[in-house]
Amino acid sequence: LYNAFHEGFHKVCGGKVLQLFEPNELQAMVIGNTNYDWKELEKNTQYKGEYWADHPTIKWFWEVFHELSLEKKKQFLLFLTGSDRIPILGMKSLSLIIQPTGGGDDYLPVSHTCFNLLDLPKYTNKEILRSKLIQAIDHCEGFNLV
């Protein structure tokens, strides 16, 4: 299996271009950056409409998010961006936008992957937010480059 991968990889990406990269750079290009700096993501997030960093719904969102397992957080990235990988330059180059949406407790969060935009209803409590967020990320499908 490795030989087939090796042969195919060198057929497509071989030649002098490989000499331009260090092994860790090639790894980052193939599998993505693995430095998941979740606090950086929070710091770079922008808010629209009635939301701001200290809005109760936003505070609940980040509390719930930081309590999620690594796998659930990666699923959230898939839900939000269409990929569970972070950019080569890291979380600082990933800008999330959260905006309020109508519907309240009966509605799930909705993502717009082309814009890294999250429509987040104003839930009445943190547990409902947790339940709806997990339900949304558990039932999403992304797209992959490979």
Catalytic machinery residues: 114
DSSP H or E run through 125 = none
Residue 61 to residue 136: CA distance in whole angstroms: 13
Residue 97 to residue 28: CA distance in whole angstroms: 25
> Which structure tokens are listed for 68?
């999620």
Using a 10 angstrom Cβ sphere, with 0-12 exposed, 13-18 middle and 19 or more buried, the burial of residue 107 is middle
Least Cα distance to 114 among 78, 81, 144 occurs for 81
